[in-house]
Amino acid sequence: MTNTDWIGFIGVFQILLAYFLNVTGKVTHKDLSFILLNTIGAGMACLASILIHYVPFIILEGAWTLVSLISLLKFLSGSKHYQ
């Protein structure tokens, strides 16, 4: 496997781990661990997609990263809209 494969694999693993932890009740969508797993995972998957020039997943993972980043910023600011 190439470095790009590893970046993508680790990123997708983090997204799937966040989802698994959420559906098994270990974390909620408001937990920092869930938000970080999604933000970092989507960012890594997006980077891997950029490196292989695969536009559909650049769009998907880029959007996922932005949404997760907004969630992270709301969490860090203690926004009442987030709670």
Residue 83 confidence (pLDDT) above 70: no
SS3 sequence, 16-73? HHHHHHHHCCCCCCCCHHHHHHHHHHHHHHHHHHHHCCCHHHHHHHHHHHHHHHHHHH
Q: Which amino acid is at 15?
A: I
Give the pLDDT of residue 11.
Answer: 98
Domain borders along the chain are 3-22+30-62+71-77
Tokens describing residue 4:
């790009």
pLDDT at 78: 87
Predicted TM-score (pTM) of this structure: 0.90
pLDDT tens by residue, 28-43: 999 999 999 999 999 9
